[in-house]
Amino acid sequence: MTAERDRQHGAGFRSRVDAIARDQPARLALIVFASIIAAATLLLWLPFAYSGPGSATFIDALFTATSAVCVTGLSVVDTALSWTTFGHLVIMISMMIGGLGVMTLASILGRAVSHRIGLTQRMLAATERKSRLGEVGSLITAVLVVSLSAEIILTAILVPSFLSMGEPMLEAIWHSMFMSVSIFNNAGFTIVEGGLEPLVGDWLFCIPIIVGTIAGSIGFPVISDLHRNWRRPRYLSLHTKLTVSTYMILWLGGVLAFFFFEWGNPGSIGGLDGDEKILAGLLHGTSVRSSGLATLDMSELSSSTLFIFDALMFIGGGSASTAGGIKVGTFAVLVLAIISEARGDRDTVAFGRRIPNSSLRLAVSAAFLGSTLVGASTLALVFITDLPLEAVLFEAISAFGTCGLSLGITPGLPTAGKLVLILLMFTGRLGTMTLAAALAMRERQRQIRFPEERPIIG
């Protein structure tokens, strides 16, 4: 009887989960992500996860777990020194899970429970991954293969750098594994004691960061599309063309702006050699989009550079990638819509394709939600602390964009301030994406339409 009741209870639980997975996958994604953060928090709260006496405080464990699962990289303690090998392992696994993407994770769980991916899940996963419905199952496999392959390659490339630091082979391999996961998933955590500043001129260490960050932040649909059609560029999807072109324009603009404002700044790159300046510019023009790995003291950058970085962090990387922000595609659609309106064009067109108004509405919604979250969080942090607006705004945008760059104020925030950043990291990673998916699923055709009347704009 007991075994029968257990089977019935298990069947009932699976049916409830299956119902949520089928009808409310966005809700399931939120539940799964929150559960993973809770599990990582409890593991980091254990005494043997913390290298200091006793255990980490609960708020520090929660903050670190959220930052790792949301692949942000903001830290309230020194990652390299404050956690044991077990703690580092928890952080690394959390980064790997977080980097797979919310809807992908929900689809994997739904398949494990119901042995299938429901239509609603396929539509939502296709919305995030910008793929056709029939490709979702194979795309999930591709995501796993690409992620693991990239991390293995990065590990092999980074091992010589850690060996050159005098580390034993096993320790060098372990540190390379951790950093490769952090780089590809744009997570921003570093296991190098003392940070990456001493490696500002190390091309062998910094180039993998640049390449790995771009690969992780460009988006899995783009990688898949480029792999299929690299010999036939005219067959590339509009999403791929928009993402690649806009990403490269923003990347080049960020690098040039960094050079322009920082070339003579003695606090940043003013005292470096020419090749070190170039490497630092390339690295920070890349990492500011999402990875948050820095070889410079960010607090020494000029206000002009910080303003540019604010904008780039807010935009983030490609859709369905390990990056955060409102996404490159969102920004591109908004810019194209403004250009079309300025020209008086009826349609918004890119690469010979008309962008539907529904995509424009989603882009406006995502950008407005992101701006609202950053604005409300900045206001809360300014109210809670006595810190200058520039520093608070930078930290808030970094949390929302899951970038992880910091001016060094996060460790000193009061508990309420840390909670604000925790909520911002969580909503920044899931909020705009789940909102877009929910709005896309709610789109409907009205049989009766109201009369049209234009309000005054501007």
Residue 210: which of 251, 243, 175 has the closest Cα? 251
- Considering only 108-112, 204-208, 243-247, 424-428, which range has the smallest mean pLDDT? 108-112
Q: Map residue 137 onto helix, strand or coil.
A: helix
Residue 208: which of 147, 155, 169 has the closest Cα? 155
How many angstroms separate the Cα of 364 from the Cα of each of 2, 75, 327, 330, 361?
55, 31, 12, 8, 5
SS3 content of the chain, % helix, strand, coil (to 5): 70, 0, 30
pLDDT tens per residue, range 100-149: 765 566 455 445 444 444 555 555 555 555 555 455 566 677 778 888 99
CA 340 vs. chain centroid, Å, equals 30
Query: Rounded to whole angstroms, how far apart are CA atoms 310 and 287?
Result: 12
| Bridge partner list, 348 | 355
Predicted structure pTM score: 0.87
Query: Rounded to whole angstroms, how far apart are CA atoms 111 and 108?
Result: 5
pLDDT tens per residue, range 409-434: 999 999 999 999 999 999 888 766 56
Rounded mean pLDDT, 183-208: 91
How many angstroms separate the Cα of 22 from the Cα of each of 111, 191, 254, 443?
10, 40, 42, 18
Residue ranges per structural domain of the chain: 2-441
Packing angle between helix 136-164 and helix 169-184, nearest 10 degrees?
Answer: 140
DSSP 457: -
Concatenated DSSP letters of 377-399 = HHHHHHHHS---HHHHHHHHHHH
Question: Considering the chain, what percentage of its residues have pLDDT values greater than 90?
Answer: 56
Rounded mean pLDDT, 387-400: 95
Please compute, for residue 261, the number of CA atoms within 13 A of its CA located in the half-sphere on the CB side. 17
Which phi-psi region, left, alpha or beta, contains residue 348 (left: φ > 0; alpha: ψ -120 to 50)? beta
Rounded mean pLDDT, 369-385: 94
pLDDT tens per residue, range 396-412: 999 999 999 999 999 99
Residue 124: which of 109, 141, 102 has the closest Cα? 102
Six token digits for residue 208: 């993998």
- Residue appearing with tokens 């709260």: 45
Query: Rounded to whole angstroms, how far apart are CA atoms 177 and 154?
Result: 8
Do the strands 353-355 and 348-350 form a parallel or antiparallel pair, or are they unpaired? Answer: antiparallel
Burial of 116 (0-12, 13-18, 19+ CB in 10 A): middle
Could you tell me which residue, 223 or 179, shows the higher pLDDT?
179
Query: In this structure, are residues 327 and 315 in contact, taking their beta carbons and an 8 Å threshold?
Result: yes
